[in-house]
Amino acid sequence: MKTQKRKSTIIKSDWRLFFPFFVLFLVSISVQAQFAKPQYWFTYNHTGRFDDRWSYGFDLNYRTTGLIPLNSSLTAGRVGMNYHTNMGFRITGGYAWFGTFASEAEQTWLHENRTYQQLQYNHKKGHINVVHRLRIEQRWRQQFTNEELDETIYTFTNRYRYLIQFDGPITEYPESKIGFRWQLANEFFIHNKEEVGYMLFDQNRTLAGVLISPPGNMSVAVLYQLIVQQQPFLRETFLINSFRITLFQTLDFRKKKNINEEEIPVID
């Protein structure tokens, strides 16, 4: 009995040790980084289950560095097909388009086409949901070739992304129809054998916020996000304060459900 309690205590403390590590990491990075303009991200994330083993997903993204007036920085769309294994893994393949807005250049939009493959695993530790996600991206990016920003070329790179996310209940009132949960996440973006400057990764995201779930199939996440982003062309590292509002919608079209799997809203 004592052994079981000891194991339970160790499990509960493991995830709490994860984030202090990244806090120390980000503090060390901030010494040599400078702050960029705050960003505001708005996302619609949709998932539809039409079979015990198959589902689809897509998301739409809009980012701006100002609210009044809007100062667009990026627009994106992503779509994928998911296969659900009987061991709790989700395998995804898909395509994404990203458009980066460059107001100071003649080439107003820089286009990026991506294909990606993804492996996701969800599990619980008590009342806490834990999500691990590994994504591999093949990126065809339009980039500037000089400081005058008047010529562009397309380059191809590979990138690996690893996300770990936690969420748990804030309050538990059985009579309440609206659920409130906290969310914490961190994601690394790692290049493989590519010239990305003076760091192995070109971006890291740390997120924290609240997930609000009214009755029905919709949830809203309100999050703060700290981005550590490297600009290899400028050989500079930026810290970006960003604020995210994500609308999650989950639909289930199955007439018969042999597998009941909880759909956890995952930050993207």
Minimal CA–CA distance to 135: which of 57, 36, 41?
57
Contacts of 188 (CB under 8 A, 6+ apart): 161, 162, 201, 203, 204
Q: DSSP letters along 226-249, please?
A: EEEEEETTTTEEEEEEEEEEEEEE
Q: Quick: pLDDT tens for 188-214.
A: 898 765 554 445 567 899 999 999 998
Mean of the pLDDT values across residues 62-88? 89
Fold for domain 2-252? Porin (2.40.160)
Rounded to an integer, what distance in angstroms lies between the CA atom of residue 63 and that of residue 245? 11
Using an 8 Å Cβ cutoff, are 140 and 153 in contact? no
pTM of the entire predicted model: 0.81
SS3 2: helix
Rounded to an integer, what distance in angstroms lies between the CA atom of residue 75 and that of residue 55? 24
State the DSSP H helix or E strand holding residue 156, giving kind and residue range, or none if neither: strand 152-169
Q: Quick: pLDDT tens for 107-123.
A: 577 889 999 999 999 99
Residue type, 158: N
Decide if pLDDT at 153 tops 50. yes
Using an 8 Å Cβ cutoff, are 89 and 120 in contact? yes
- Report DSSP state, residue 67: T
pLDDT band at 19 (very low <50, low <70, confident <90, very high): low
Name residue, tokens 């209940």: 169
